[in-house]
A and B are shown apart, each in its own frame.
Chain A
Amino acid sequence: MTVKLTMAQAINAALRDALAEDESVVVFGEDVGPLGGVFRVTDGLTATFGDRRCFDTPLAESGIVGMAIGMAMNGMRPVVEMQFDAFAYPAFEQITSHLAKMANRTRGRVRLPVVVRVPYAGGIGGVEHHCDSSEAYYAHTPGLTVLAPATNQDAYGLLRAAIAGPDPVIFLEPKKHYFAPEEVEPETPVPPIGRAEVRRRGADATLIAYGPTVPVALAAAELAATEGRDLGVVDLRSLVPFDEDTVVAEVRRTGRAVVVAEAPGFVSVASEIAARISERCFHHLEAPVRRVTGFDIPYPPPKLEHHHLPSAERVLDAVDDLQWDES
């Protein structure tokens, strides 16, 4: 049965179902209790499950992640919320030195099934420190799984998979999707982690996007179609593991690729994807791989963010640059 849910509601439903199914799941963070989180993602969980299952903590992010690690070492499956992307940075040491490494440091004897939920990225008119695309820090750290859903169905399914899985997951929730309703079918089997989804098949070029830039890529493909150009869109869904095979298969078919991401482009996830496409598709490429990303600047203020964010127009400009005349 499908229901119309916003992404915030889809994530709420995933947390609710996980809490109901598994006694060892606990949800905690800042304002996640009676308030239901600043984005209302945990709305009603304390009322339904009690404040031993969903609770507020003191205001300290390293403390939140550190405590989650200890709880996971002692048999729990904590799901913690970082209030905003840039406010997860105090937890960086706990994430990189412990959460990511515990399984390796213990020769696989202690695995940490912890999910760190991070409302991330921009496009919401937020002031400074509220709109960072911080995925590269996590994706660069061996031992972490990094997910970035773009649809409300994936937000539900991937979060269920993340909570049920054996290893730590950084779950990046594109804030600008929180309040847009879409059809969701909770009964759909949870998607495997690490599998990209071809959202649109195209013959001429492939756009690769994740999280908040998937709708941008789809909009660009729609516009291109009106001009007679057939663009495909791959939604990565999972940054780590990176589903190289799906991306490579699509790009080999079209011979042209543009990677679209909000984060600053220098030393980014987009750069890594572009490099891997070049390595594996070289003889199939009609043009160099392009990236359309945010600028290498601190996230700009609300009135200027539209200049920074990849737009369908900017994506199409990049597509236009893919040496069509010479082929």
Chain B
Amino acid sequence: MEELRMVRLLDADGGAVEDDRYPMPPPEVLVDAYRALVRGKRLNEQASALVRQGRLAVYPSSRGQEACQVTAAAVLRPGDWLFPTYRDTVAVVERGVDPVEVLTLLRGDWHCGYDPSRHRVAPQATPLATQLLHAVGAAHAATLRGEDTVVLALCGDGATSEGDFHEALNFAAVFAAPVVFLVQNNKYAISVPLARQSVAPSLAHKGIGYGMPGVLVDGNDTAALTAVLGEAVTRAAGGGGPTLVEADTYRIDAHTNADDASRYRTDDEVAAWARRDPLVRLRAYLRGLAVLDDEREAEFTAAAEADAARLRAALADDRPPEPAELFAHVRATPTPQLAAQAASLRAELAAERRQPEEER
């Protein structure tokens, strides 16, 4: 089987690499991407700290994958849709959703926290690969109405083993749906390495079997991702159908705070990938071009810090969600049984409130 040549426009030191297939994106686009990387990295660090402080129940960090995160959001146009997973908080935020809203679920509420229709960002999906089919449906609905809408759907390397991944690719190809599938191959599904998911020459190859282009891209190279995903969006918008993009990247943090990554990978492996940090690479390139100076950098850092501070302040409020609302949205009109259950919980809560504090 023929190997796919990985798309790379920046080397690990930030030097420009020629690729006959994709042009280098313009500097101002990459400067804004750098701003987003700084913000995304800070968000990952802040959220992880909030887990340690007990403010968040859990946070699947995308540390190391920030280039995929910010580019997935940046290549979309205002009317386009994003279908993210639990790991894609940074992409959702970069798409314009308030970080405090995005972290609603992970701080222990029962709902996704933001309005998916307003932002055109689906709720973050946890059942693996299921959201890819929703992306195809949203895209096909737009096609049927003659709207110019592209849908970008995210998933991980492990999720490519799920049936829904294959059904989604096939449906998208058969209906020529305007979807871009971005697989963030971060080498592990919790503890299970890529080799146990697939022995295909690459995950991008899987697109070919369904009749769509499969593109393998350096997932820590913001320039290459911008070029590849940008072209896939343009292709989809022009009626060219779906594209599967595999981003070669790495999850620097553990799967979540509950995970012990030392059981399945070595420190050396992590250190090697840490040297390929997407921020370092893009910064070196932009500094070399003299389009990024100390002042801009300080500005980006300050904005990221302000975000983090606002998040800390918002999450310091640890009032529990309103229990009575658990019944409110299960269905538009409650069943008689549900109404009775809601009333009984309300009565319990009222009785608790009437009881003097010391008797509780």
Interface residues of A (CB under 8 A from B): 26, 52, 57-58, 60, 62-63, 65-76, 78, 90, 93-94, 97-98, 102-111, 142-143, 145, 165-167, 194, 240-245
- What is the size category of the interface that chain B forms with chain A? 35 or more
| B81, A74: Cβ atoms closer than 8 Å | yes
Chain B residues with Cβ below 8 Å from A244 are: 336-337
Contact with A along B131-143 (1 / 0, CB 8 A): 0111111111110
Determine if B354 is an interface residue (Cβ-Cβ < 8 Å): no
Chain B residues with Cβ below 8 Å from A98 are: 127, 130, 134
Please, how many angstroms separate the alpha-carbon atoms of A145 and B333 in the complex?
10
CB distance from A76 to the nearest CB of B (A): 5
Q: Name 25 A/B residue pairs within 8 A (Cβ), A-sorted.
A: A52-B144, A57-B174, A62-B167, A63-B133, A63-B171, A66-B132, A70-B139, A71-B138, A73-B117, A73-B122, A75-B145, A76-B141, A90-B163, A94-B133, A94-B164, A102-B123, A104-B329, A108-B328, A109-B117, A110-B117, A143-B330, A166-B332, A167-B331, A240-B335, A245-B336
Determine if B112 is an interface residue (Cβ-Cβ < 8 Å): yes
Chain B residues with Cβ below 8 Å from A242 are: 335-337
| A73, B111: Cβ atoms closer than 8 Å | no
Q: Determine the residue in chain A with the shortest Cβ distance to B340.
A: A244
Chain A residues with Cβ below 8 Å from B112 are: 105-107
Chain A residues with Cβ below 8 Å from B337 are: 241-242, 244
Please tell me which one of the listed residues A94, A104, A145, A245 contacts residue B111 in the complex, with CB atoms under 8 A apart.
A104
* Most central of B116, B132, B163, B335 by chain A CB within 10 Å: B335
Contact with A along B195-217 (1 / 0, CB 8 A): 00000000000000000000000
| A69, B111: Cβ atoms closer than 8 Å | no
Majority secondary structure of chain B interface residues (helix, strand, loop or mixed):
helix
3 closest Cβ contacts across the A-B interface? A70-B137, A66-B133, A63-B167
CB distance from A18 to the nearest CB of B (A): 16
B 151-193 contacts with A by CB, 8 A: 163-164, 167-168, 170-171, 174
Please, how many angstroms separate the alpha-carbon atoms of A97 and B133 in the complex?
13
Please, how many angstroms separate the alpha-carbon atoms of A111 and B332 in the complex?
8
Please, how many angstroms separate the alpha-carbon atoms of A60 and B144 in the complex?
21
Chain A residues with Cβ below 8 Å from B331 are: 103, 143, 145, 167
| A73, B110: Cβ atoms closer than 8 Å | no
Please tell me which one of the listed residues A74, A166, A241 contacts residue B336 in the complex, with CB atoms under 8 A apart.
A241
Chain A residues with Cβ below 8 Å from B174 are: 57-58
Question: Given A71-B137, A166-B332, list of 8 further CB < 8 A pairs?
Answer: A58-B171, A62-B163, A97-B127, A107-B111, A165-B332, A194-B335, A241-B337, A242-B337
CB distance from A134 to the nearest CB of B (A): 20
CB distance from B249 to the nearest CB of A (A): 26
Chain A residues with Cβ below 8 Å from B142 are: 74
Please, how many angstroms separate the alpha-carbon atoms of A68 and B104 in the complex?
27
Please, how many angstroms separate the alpha-carbon atoms of A165 and B331 in the complex?
11
Q: Determine the residue in chain B with the shortest Cβ distance to A241.
A: B335
Determine if B18 is an interface residue (Cβ-Cβ < 8 Å): no
Please tell me which one of the listed residues A71, A107, A241 contacts residue B329 in the complex, with CB atoms under 8 A apart.
A107
Determine if B115 is an interface residue (Cβ-Cβ < 8 Å): yes
Chain A residues with Cβ below 8 Å from B134 are: 66-67, 69-70, 73, 98
Chain B residues with Cβ below 8 Å from A66 are: 130, 132-134, 136-137, 164, 167-168
| B115, A70: Cβ atoms closer than 8 Å | no
Q: Determine the residue in chain B with the shortest Cβ distance to A28.
A: B140
Please tell me which one of the listed residues B115, B132, B137, B332 contacts residue A68 in the complex, with CB atoms under 8 A apart.
B137
Please, how many angstroms separate the alpha-carbon atoms of A243 and B337 in the complex?
9
CB distance from B130 to the nearest CB of A (A): 6
Chain B residues with Cβ below 8 Å from A74 are: 81, 137-138, 141-142, 149
Chain B residues with Cβ below 8 Å from A70 are: 133-141
